[in-house]
Amino acid sequence: MSGASTRPVLSQAQLQKLRAHGQERSAAVDEVLYRVGDERYPLIAILEGEAAVLDVNGAEIIRHTAGGFLGEINLLSGQTVYLTAVVTEPMRYIAVEREQVRELLAEDESLAQLLISTFIARREVLQGVDGVGIEILGPWSSPQVRALVEWVRQARLPHSVHDTDRDQSARATVAALGGQPLPLVRLPGGQDLWGPTPGQLFRAIGVGLELAPREQVDLLIVGGGPAGLGAAVYGASEGLQTLVIETGTLGGQAGTSRRIENYLGFPAGISGAELTLRAIAQARKFSARTATPYRALALEPGDDRHVVRLEDGHSIEARAVLLATGAQYRRLPVDGLEHYEGRSVFYAAGPPEGKLCAGAAVGVVGGGNSAAQAAIWLARGGASVTLMHRRANLRETMSDYLIHDLARYGVSVRDRSEVAQLHGADGQLEAVTLRDGEPVPLSFLFLFLGASPCTDWLGETVARDRHGFVLTGAAAGADGLLETSVPGVFAAGDVRSGSVKRCATAVGEGAMVVAYVHERMAALSA
């Protein structure tokens, strides 16, 4: 884990700021600052001395000296610790607990930029390091195994997968332990989980809030993308008891974007992961709560409170509900796709995928900005990338600056191209055949085909258009621009019919909803 992005140096002013919010401590050689499996640890800013960061087997990953700091994303998110830090030279350091770090992120722009960008860079490196994080053992032929791996990928959790159909050692481990059902998930620190749901796994490693069987809040936000997080920040900052529930990982599709170049206030661009981390820190600063993954099953409207039923028997009563569930990725309508998903066909381009694809022939399918961002990032990582889309001209669906960047980084663009067949064996793609019958040799395929609204769980409770997007305002017979056909239930972001599918617009709509929520609460109190 080397490079300036993972080993920055704090300025004296920044150290002074941390000192004001933390505690100065000392540590002797061989003292363990934190270890694999710990539930939490503080941000450690080194004043004097040196510390080494080790993997679970004791191999050194990186060494930090005076002016450096220890920590990665799990310091903020609450995830189980994946690494061990040991003092290698007598140290004086400042320890700042997680809650104080979160406050600092919302108060000090330059420090927030440094810490968050470094945490993200370190997490991306860890995702490509073998033996760090959780281990998933099970047959790749199992849909349950593939589904769990996809959840872990989306959550950017460092992990390794051991296919018991191919890996004799993994098969022997499972047989020796004698457990069922598969997959077996081995957590940092030694705990084993057999056949866990995503929720059980995430909460076992400290991701997300454990909800009570029954909760009551002012504002319930269903969906943790830009619209949901925007509403959470504004709702909580204005005194509303605010809870965000998310089926997947916080950030939504925007959270997986390699680079958002046209978001207001970030002229150099910002990654979806960084934007999401900043939003979460800001929401939590104002005491908004986030719970993931929890799947909403039903909405039951009421006069003064609405009830949302969740999986596992949980329910939430709320005076106002915001539907910000966004949309889910569309899949290619081709036979056998499921055999390649997660192994050589992906829906997001992260560090593990980038490592796999370096030097390989890669296809990216889609004509939108997300497809372009992924293609450019993969090409910069050394892949030979072909972007395939079904329209005659990319300018119909893609931002102009990205079209120029595709050419700049050598991405080959094929217009009027649709994938009809996949070819390969044991989940490894070897080629695709286009609808016109032309074969294209490819080792990996990334799909960015747009998305369908995540609204099936609503049934007939609220009015939707013919595509399933939620109707609001006049189209729904409602007074408020973002109110649905059910008073006190609102919709914002990609899930809303007629919305502009842009990150900044979703944030704005989420913030706007809070004004309507205050109006509803005032009316209920009158």
Total domains, the chain: 4
* Contact in structure between 23 and 46 (CB atoms under 8 Å): no
Task: Say if residue 315 is in the same domain as residue 342.
Answer: no
Task: Say if residue 18 is in the same domain as residue 119.
Answer: yes
Task: Say if residue 17 is in the same domain as residue 44.
Answer: yes
Task: Say if residue 227 is in the same domain as residue 318.
Answer: yes
- Segment holding 282, helix H or strand E: helix 272-285
With b meaning 16 or more CB within 10 Å and e meaning fewer, what string describes 274-302? bbbbbbbbbbbbbebbbbbbbbbeebebe
Packing angle between helix 109-127 and helix 272-285, nearest 10 degrees?
130
Distance CA 255, CA 364 (A): 19
Task: Say if residue 445 is in the same domain as residue 458.
Answer: no
Q: What percentage of the chain exceeds 90 in pLDDT?
A: 65
Domain assignment of residue 1, yes or no: no
Task: Say if residue 404 is in the same domain as residue 507.
Answer: no
| Structural domain for 153, as ranges | 134-204
Here the tokens at position 85 are 């830090």
pTM: 0.79
Rg (CA), the chain: 24
pLDDT digits (tens, 9 = 90+) for 16-59: 999 999 999 999 999 999 999 998 899 999 999 999 999 998 99
Closest CA to 458 of 321, 331, 330, 329: 321
Task: Say if residue 423 is in the same domain as residue 363.
Answer: yes
Distance CA 454, CA 449 (A): 15
Q: Quote the pLDDT of residue 34.
A: 97
Domain assignment of residue 34, yes or no: yes
Task: Say if residue 51 is in the same domain as residue 196.
Answer: no
Q: Quote the pLDDT of residue 2.
A: 56
Domain assignment of residue 3, yes or no: no
Task: Say if residue 243 is in the same domain as residue 324.
Answer: yes
Domain assignment of residue 18, yes or no: yes
Q: Among the listed ranges 66-70, 263-267, 473-477, which one has the minimum average pLDDT value?
A: 263-267
Domain C-terminal end among 101, 127, 153: 127
Domain assignment of residue 209, yes or no: no
Task: Say if residue 445 is in the same domain as residue 467.
Answer: no
Q: Find where tokens 């994938």 sit.
A: 419
Taking CA atoms, 363 is separated from 260, 283, 292, 371, in Å, by 21, 37, 32, 10
Domain C-terminal end among 61, 96, 127: 127
We report the CATH number of the domain holding residue 222 as 3.50.50.60
- Segment holding 317, helix H or strand E: strand 315-323
Task: Say if residue 460 is in the same domain as residue 321.
Answer: yes
For the cut 60, the answer to whether the pLDDT of residue 494 exceeds it is: yes
Domain assignment of residue 425, yes or no: yes
Average pLDDT over residues 89-107: 92
Q: Quote the pLDDT of residue 300.
A: 98
8-state DSSP, 474? G
Domain assignment of residue 7, yes or no: no
**Backbone region of residue 265 per phi and psi (left: phi > 0; alpha: psi in -120 to 50; beta: other values):** left
Distance CA 190, CA 489 (A): 44
How do beta strands 444-447 and 451-453 pair? unpaired
Distance CA 107, CA 38 (A): 28
Domain C-terminal end among 127, 142, 172: 127
Task: Say if residue 16 is in the same domain as residue 120.
Answer: yes
We report the CATH number of the domain holding residue 161 as 3.40.30.10
Q: Quote the pLDDT of residue 3.
A: 58
Closest CA to 473 of 504, 440, 524, 509: 509
Name the burial class of residue 366, with classes exposed (0-12), middle (13-18) and buried (19+) by CB atoms within 10 angstroms of its CB: buried
Taking CA atoms, 437 is separated from 413, 418, 433, 434, in Å, by 18, 10, 6, 5
